[in-house]
Structure 1
Amino acid sequence: MNLNSLKKYIAPALVVATTTFTSCLHQLDTTPIDPNVDTVDKVYRTVADYNQGLAKLYAGYAITGQQGPDGNGDLGGIDEGASQYLRRYWEAQELPTDEAINCWGDPGQPEMSTMSWTAANTLNEALYYRVIYQISLANQFIRDCEASDFDLSSQIAEARFLRAYSYWHALDLYGNGVPKITEENTVGKELPLPWGKQGGRELFDYITAELESIIDASSEEQLVDIGESMFGQANKGVAYMLLGKVFLNAEVYIGEAHLSEAKKYTDLVVNNYTLSGSHKNAVSAYQSLFVMDNYEEHKEIIFSINYFGDQTRTWGGMTYIINAATGGDMDRDMMGAPGWGGNRSMTSLLNVFEGKTDDRALFFIHKDDQGNETTDIVDFMQFTQGVQVTKFRNVDSKGAPGHATYAETNYPVFRVADAILMQTEIEWRMNGFASNNNIRTLWERAGRSTESVPEVNAETILNERARELYWEGHRRQDLRRFNTFTRGSVVQTWPYKGSQIAPEGLTNVSETFEVYPIPSSEIGANPNLIQNKGY
């Protein structure tokens, strides 16, 4: 795998995007801009031009527009940095859970941490339109490729994967009732219909069919094999992982289990990737996955969103994740970030480590706090309460800092450690019991004593997923799968769950919050759509 070979496409991709796509917050599909200025036939003249257009699709997860960090953004009507795809997605999956909390008082922000948002929440609106916009870009790119005389089958396969990836986000976050838009839609002619009512399976079937098609050896449009892609580029292994994720969560999405399919694709992932197994320079094997040179860990990191400092200027993404985690008395040089003091964790995450030696416990405890709970959710100026997380850092494995303003650390979307835990969970769900050998393997890598590895049950799986995968954007999905997100069974409560008043939290929150609302502005603009239940 090669990092720089993807990096060289980023800047040219922004030029292609500027001349090919319009950008509007409420637009559900894209059209070429003024044909008297720049049209598709002027932008796409060589295969290299199409590769740059494809790079724009990848860049859509990392940056916010054609310039960055401010000005000429893809979406209007909201602060550009706050609308960034990864920033919005990370918050939606982490802030309402037992793993993270935000201490800013910006409009809509406290509600994200306390599971009390409404259909008018600005941050949710930005996430929704970012997801739909990304799907729209993929649709237009596929149309342009299909109209070309070049053989662009591999480029189309990658665009189809990226569209399926964003549609998975849409299904997971908003249910089956999001707009149905593919390359077959006539641009701007009619308002899209929904994929189906919440709880239906039309979108689920579409996502899985698309992914299975682009890994089929007989398909004309198929992804490259594992080991033949650049770091951060979709290949068949990435599609295996996404299929495993979708099928494992099928009971949440469509009310029926698909464990045999989940096992099939998860096993393919585990058989083709390996854990990073030894210390590297100044960091542990685990820490090596979350610093700037984590591209060297491509045998474990299956898919990533890549950042290149000044070439990916944004106040979102990894710049946000690292800076928002840095504040108070934390060592800025160690974090490689000036620090904004925004996101932290709570004792609910610290407690799953049980005070044991574990390389994965990457925390900073304020000297006067000693891990006490956050008592003031809006604590921007001090950032001294709660538990600060030092997992992601903008330094390399030797401690050398990256760009002074913009992050250079890549975000690991999928890791084989996740697949290993999925494998154990699938075995447990299918048989009612499972071997704890996979957990033992992860404990060994983390330097944790393996004398007391617990038997596998729901609580064991959830706790181990928290220890291994915290702050990687999986927690809300995990809690939903175990019926513990809004209701209480295995994990009953955590600080501020459903409450802005006190850190105790509630055991049960309305099931309305299982999914996010389709923004009220979207419902008003498209009467074909139906709001999710309870909003």
Structure 2
Amino acid sequence: MKKIFKIEKIATLFLVIVMAMSSCTKDLDITPKDDQDLLGEDFFTKETAYKELLGGVYGNLSLTGVDGPGSSFIDGLDAGTSQFGRVLLYLQTLSADQMIWSYENDPGTREIQRNIWNANDPIILGMFGRSHVTIAFANNFLRETTDAKLAERNVSDAIKAEITTYRAEARLLRAMSYYYMMDLFGQANFTTEEDPINTPPKAYDRAQLFDFIESELKAIEADLPDPLLNEHGRASKGVSWMILAKIYLNAEVYIGQDKYTECIDYCKKIIAGGYTLATQYSHNFMADNDVNSAKNEIIFPLISDGTFTQNFGPTTVMVNGSVGSLEVNGAALGVGAGGWGGALRLRKQFVELFEASIYNNDTRNGIISGGRSKEITDISNKDQGYILEKFSNAKSTGGFGVDQTFVDTDFPLFRLADVYLMYAEAHLRGGAGATVANVEGYINALRTRANNPQNNLTISDINLSFIIDERARELHWEAHRRQDLIRFGRFTGGNYNWAWKGNGTNGIALSADLKLYPIPSASLKSNPELKQNPGY
């Protein structure tokens, strides 16, 4: 069992929280019932109550329901279209140039990977709804941990001190949800614990969300644990710094302002925080990545556990989906031999990033070509297109995860390698405070770790074109690609096309409006303050 905080109790607490909430069928809002009766006062007589309640907030990042991996407590959405990490993967990776999903009868996938989505897509609705559930859960936690309520319950000073940290974590998880809403939708229903329960939410735009995320994360920094000192699966200062570095790197997209110097500042904080690269690239994506050498590279994971948090999340999807229809290679990955029968394959533009001979032995190159064609002219033909072995349910010490379908492999939402690449990019874009020696050192450290012979690059070799390609080689299938392509001006328009972009076999130009996803139709109906994004 993973050594994280009471992972065996997360599902139980998730049930407790959901039972204390009511879900509106039409708009997916999760609204606490009577504030005085929430959860019941008997629940708070336990010393562990507040930590368990916080576990429920974290649980929403992994679980979808209270009756097993196929259940969902959000009306109208199944587990496959509302698990946080999975829909994030779809919206950031499946929509871009790295991944193809074979089974286009799965709701929403055809539209996402062909860039023909609309406001009724269930995956888009799943992301919008799931993120707002985390916000609602975090607000609920904060309402239950006010000074007044703790005094009423005669909570000890020792527990109060712990709750200060718990509150900072809940605020961080809320800010992270608003970050993804800002990135994907440019808007969000905005509420905090200060809003009276059942008050109609405001609608915040990108600028308002940016300001809130920035100020909120800075406000809670002192109350968060130092990097690497919190329990596995919980947030620390490093996670807060990572989100800030991300919003600063993308600030020109979000608010039209250059904040590359600020990005460098926060990358430096993370790097000084004690994180280190895993000794082997593969360790980041294995069933024991919570204890192997990746434990000091992964800044924040989405928890997956084959016993206690079974879910159809990103790592379960990618491990089972990576089993080829021809190769039947599931046994090597720690799942059933046939896996999901060739569910995932690679678009040729990604394959071509590894075709130079210097990548033949690069450990990031998990591409399997066999007798396959690189071209995918028929998405339903699972024998077309190369496959990828990156994520697995195997352990670095031998053996596999406990279940042959639901993997033990945590999803590395944020990791140090990304910070190295952000530091270099922000420097190249004109940010102050970085050094050429560090840019070269960080890039070459990634190359050395990957066993790439071209590991003595100088600044003359490292330009923005190199960075966008190196980010793909290092971070593929980790839910960054759409964001990266937008920042580099390559997602919309026709200056860079990929297979099936815009529903064309060889790719066609996309409208600039597709840089944002639509606000789901159901959410527009529930909050008239939200406005549909242009083009939808």
Contact 2:444 2:456 in 1 (8 A): no
The 2-side partners of 1:475 and 1:47 are apart by: 43
Does residue 378 in structure 1 map to residue 403 in structure 2?
Answer: no
Q: Please list the CA deviations of residues 400-441 of structure 1 after superposition, one character each: whole Å capped at 9, or x if unmatched.
A: 121123111111111111000111011111169954332211
SS at match of 1:88: helix
Letter in 2 for 1:193: K
**Percent identity between the two aligned chains:** 33
| Cross-structure match for 1:287 | 282
> Post-superposition shift, 1:187?
1.7
Distance in 1, Cα, partners of 2:175 & 2:219? 11
- Report how many aligned residue pairs link the two structures: 506
1:6-54 Cα deviation digits (max 9, x unpaired): 4344244234324433344524342137988x74423332341111111
Q: Distance in 1 between matches of 2:400 and 2:59?
A: 23
Q: Which aligned pairs between 1:84-103 and structure 2 lie closer than 5 A?
A: 84-103=83-102
Superposed, 1:65-464 pairs within 5 Å as 65-71=65-71, 73-106=72-105, 107-146=107-146, 147-149=149-151, 150=155, 151=160, 152-175=163-186, 177-189=187-199, 191-196=200-205, 200-215=206-221, 217=222, 222-278=223-279, 285-296=280-291, 297-328=294-325, 329-338=327-336, 339-340=339-340, 341-355=342-356, 356=359, 357-365=361-369, 367-369=370-372, 371-379=373-381, 383-402=382-401, 403-430=403-430, 435-450=439-454, 453=457, 455-464=461-470
- Conserved 8 A contact 1:337-1:404: yes
State the alpha-carbon separation in 1 of the partners of residues 239 and 36 from structure 2: 37
Tell whether the 8 Å contact from 1:12 to 1:52 is kept in structure 2 after alignment: no
**Aligned mates of 2:501, 2:364 — CA distance in 1:** 25
Structure 1 CA distance for aligned equivalents of residues 24 and 335 of structure 2: 32
**Secondary structure at 1:194's aligned position in 2?**
strand
1:226 corresponds to which letter in structure 2? Answer: P
Q: 2:182 is paired with a residue of what secondary structure?
A: helix
Structure 2 unaligned residues grouped into runs of 5+: none
Q: 1:39/1:375 Cα in 2 relative to 1: closer, same or farther (>3 Å)?
A: same
* Residue identity in the other structure for 1:163: R
Map 1:21-32 → 2, pairs under 5 A: 21-24=21-24, 26-32=27-33
Alpha-carbon shift at residue 259 of structure 1 (Å):
1.5
Partner of 1:282: none
Give the alignment's Cα RMSD to 1 decimal: 2.1
Q: Distance in 2 between matches of 1:495 and 1:6?
A: 44
The letter of the residue matching 2:191 is I
Q: Which residue of 2 aligns with 1:532?
A: 533
1:327 CA displacement: 3.3
Take 1:493 and 1:346, find their aligned partners in 2: how far apart are those partners?
Answer: 11
| Residues 358 and 448, structure 1, Cα contact 8 Å, conserved in 2 | yes
> Do 1:294 and 1:409's aligned partners in 2 also have CA atoms closer than 8 Å?
yes
Is this contact kept in 1: 2:171–2:216, CA < 8 A? yes
Partners of 2:333 and 2:228 in 1: CA distance: 31
Asked whether the 8 Å contact 2:17–2:39 carries over to 1, the reply is no
Task: Give how far 1:214 is off.
Answer: 0.8
Tell me which moved more, 350-359 or 203-212.
350-359
SS in 1 for 2:413: strand
Partner amino acid, structure 2, of 1:299: N
Deviation digits for residues 194-227 of structure 1 (CA, Å, limit 9, x no counterpart): 113xxx5111000011100111x3xxxx111123
CA contact (8 A) 1:364 1:389 kept: yes
After superposing the two structures, state which structure 1 stretch, 151-160 or 315-324, moved more.
315-324
Is contact 1:24–1:74 with CA below 8 Å preserved after alignment? no
Amino acid corresponding to residue 316 of structure 1 in structure 2 = G
| SS of structure 2 residue aligned to 1:353 | coil
Structure 1, 267-276 or 454-463: larger mean CA deviation: 267-276
Q: Name the SS of the counterpart of 1:229 in structure 2.
A: coil
Q: Tell me whether 11-20 or 250-259 shows the greater mean CA deviation.
A: 11-20
CA distance 1:267–1:400, change in 2 (3 Å)? same
SS at match of 1:179: strand
1:61 aligns with 2:79: no
Whole-Å Cα distance in 2 between the matches of residues 404 and 33 of structure 1?
A: 42
Against the structure 1 CA distance between its residues 39 and 269, is the aligned structure 2 distance closer, same or farther, given a 3 Å change threshold?
A: closer
Per the alignment, residue 281 of structure 1 pairs with none
Distance 2:4 2:215 in 1: 32
- Length-normalised TM-score, structure 2: 0.90
Conserved? CA contact 1:273–1:300, under 8 Å: no
For the residue of structure 2 that corresponds to 1:412, the secondary structure is strand
Which consecutive residues of structure 1, in runs of 5 or more, have no partner in the other structure? 279-284
Query: What whole-Å deviation, never above 9, does each CA across 1:224-268 have from its counterpart, x for those lacking one?
Result: 112320122101111111111111111111111111211111111
Q: Which amino acid aligns with 2:281?
A: Y
**Whole-angstrom CA distance in 2 between matches of 1:237 and 1:3:** 20
Instruction: Compute the displacement of 1:334 (Å).
Output: 0.9
Query: In the aligned structure 2, how far is the partner of 1:114 from the partner of 1:368?
Result: 26
Q: Deviations over 1:420-464 (max 9, x none)?
A: 011101111116995433221111111111267471222100011
Question: In 2, are the aligned partners of 1:232 and 1:306 still within 8 Å (CA)?
Answer: yes
CA deviations 1:453-476 (Å, max 9, x no partner) are 471222100011001000011111
Deviation at 1:350, TM superposition (A): 1.4
Separation (CA, whole Å) in 1 of partners of 2:467 and 2:446: 12
Alignment match, 1:493: 497
- Looking at structure 1, the residues matched to 429 and 18 of structure 2 have their Cα atoms a distance apart, in angstroms, of 48
Partners of 1:394 and 1:346 in 2: CA distance: 24
Q: Runs in 1 of length 4+ with deviation above 4 angstroms?
A: 33-36, 431-435
